[in-house]
Structure 1
Amino acid sequence: MKTLAKGRQISWAGRYGSKWDNCTCSMLQINFSTMEFTKDPAEQTTAITDIILALAAFGGSLTLYWSLTGSSGWWKMAIWSTAFGFMGLAAALGAVAHGLILAQSVHDRIWQLLNMSLALTVSLFVSGVVYDLWGQAAGLKVLPIMLLAGLGFLGATLRYPGIFFVFIIYEGLALLFALGAYIYLAVRGDLAGAAFMAVGITISILAAGIQAASSISLRIIWQFDHNGIYHIVQVVGLIFLLIGLLESLLV
């Protein structure tokens, strides 16, 4: 999963007011007339790889939706397809934030929407894992709780930027929980595709570690910083997750 952008936490109460509806309206009032493309090579590759990640996530979302031939796995498909969709939205917004030079207020609003998308991605991700581990009833029961928890953590970090690490811990715990769950299901043979899911989550954890190491950079024809490398690795993780999900849904 993609780690929320450090250094971009904005206090909605201080800048846009404390009400969610006011924040949402303010965020949508974006004027792109003054935007221009970044000249920074690393930011350019970060934006391009963000687009690749967005296409992979949106493609995965549509593939899950189109591949379900029966109705028994509809809720599972809906949870995971939506999670992939929010990840794609976050990556698309990341491409805008990294690839364009925008007014600071616009930049801040984009990051707020991006982080909200990631919060929903993590919440849906956990709900999908619970579904596979304990069944549909448990997955649907925990879904609204996880959505509220994700938005609650996000709201707290936006209101009090100093506790941003809490959300990072939340995301890390979600990945570790998922890894343990799919290793368990794979060893027991209880879920088709669980091994692919475990590999995909392992790669996602590796990707998150790469993104957290801001000193990492690589030049292969073009210059890549830690964000660009993260995006490429995360795409590989998504492919394994998608293969595992398709196996579990279509068997």
Structure 2
Amino acid sequence: MLNPSLTELTTSATDAILAMECLVMLVYLRRSPSGNFLRMGLWSWVFGLLAFASLLGTLAHGLVMPDSLKTALWKPLYLCLGLVVSLFLAGVFLDWQGRDTAKRILPWSIGMGVLFFGITEVFNGAFLVFVVYEATVMVTALIVYSFLGATRRLKGAGIVALAVFLNILAAGIQTSSVSWTLGGVPLDHNGVFHLVQMAGVAVLAMGLRRGFSVDAQKGEDFFKAHP
């Protein structure tokens, strides 16, 4: 049975669109030429987990269900979101400090995601915990990619920095009481959050793909130099 709340239905709809967008962006990235399989793998997991979390959000917001079932849906959703942010952090270190550093911090980063899930369980699913956790990682990412873009050390870094900024903006909206009406369709803060996040996801994929094209060229140059 559909949720009788119109804003919950629009939140569910925007979650569904976000899930589909993430899958499209995942395919878009996977079709990019790249010689950096670790980078491709990390960011593929980010988009894939975000798509799955958005799908769970679609169900949680759009359907009327027993509280026990809704609570059960939020558990894997929070776990996915925690892992998305953790893998995002690993991707930041990969682009900033290189493959060896990224490999060293990857297990710790995944552990942070699991720890985040545990904290939300202790605090009874408090979304504020995720917002603080995400904000810390996103501010770090914004600084790093702004630096990489300004120094031209990574192609597409400036675009990724813009995507991170949009994600920070979306997180701020998520914790606010903002509401919009678009074409007669009401959107609460969750719906507006999803709209801004959609823009961030698209921009992120564009920036990453530009870097992947450079990775592919480096890979070709390496194999030419080492026949």
How many residues end up aligned between the 2 structures?
Answer: 213
The yes-or-no answer on 1:218 pairing with 2:180 is yes
CA distance in 1, matches of 2:134, 2:5: 30
SS in structure 2 opposite 1:219?
strand
Aligned pair in 2 of structure 1 residues 163, 88: CA closer, same or farther (>3 Å)? Answer: closer
Deviations 1:16-59 (A, max 9, x none): xxxxxxxxxxxxxxxxxxxx111211011100000111111111
**Runs ≥4 residues deviating over 6 A:** none
Letter matched to residue 187 of structure 1: A
2:62 is matched by which residue type in structure 1?
G
Instruction: Find the counterpart in structure 2 of residue 208 from structure 1.
Output: 171
CA-based RMSD: 1.4
Q: Answer yes or no: is the 8 Å Cα contact 2:131–2:171 preserved in 1.
A: no
For 2:179 and 2:134, how far apart are their aligned partners in 1? 24
- The amino acid across from 1:217 in the alignment is S
* In 2, Cα distance between equivalents of 1:98 and 1:165: 18
Q: Which runs of 5+ in 1 are unaligned?
A: 1-35
Q: TM-score, normalised by structure 2?
A: 0.90
1:22 aligned partner = none
* Alpha-carbon offset, residue 166 of structure 1: 4.5
Give, in angstroms, the shift of residue 167 of structure 1: 4.0
What CA deviation, in whole Å up to 9, does each residue of 1:53-110 have, x standing for no partner? 111111112221222x34x211101000101110111111000000000111110010
SS in 2 for 1:87: helix
- Is 1:140 the counterpart of 2:107? The answer is no
CA distance in 2, matches of 1:209, 1:109: 26
Q: Structure 1 residues 208, 165: CA separation in 2 closer, same or farther (over 3 Å shift)?
A: closer
Is residue 123 of structure 1 aligned with residue 86 of structure 2? yes
Q: Does 1:61 pair with 2:23?
A: no
Deviations 1:133-175 (A, max 9, x none): 0011111111110000111122122024498644432211100
Give the structure with the larger helix fraction: 2
CA change 1:112–1:194 in 2 (3 A) is: same
Residue 17 (structure 2) pairs with residue 52 (structure 1): yes
Cα distance in structure 2, aligned partners of 1:139 and 1:150: 16
- 2-structure distance, mates of 1:153, 1:114: 12
| Mapped partners of 1:50, 1:136: distance in 2 | 33
- How high is the sequence identity, in percent, across the aligned residues? 36
How far apart in 2 are the matches of 1:45 and 1:163? Answer: 22
Provide Cα deviations, 1:213-235, integer angstroms capped at 9, x if missing partner. Answer: 0x211112211000001101100
- Secondary structure of the structure 2 residue equivalent to 1:223: strand
Amino acid at match of 2:148: L
Structure 2: stretches of 5+ with no match in the other structure: 215-227
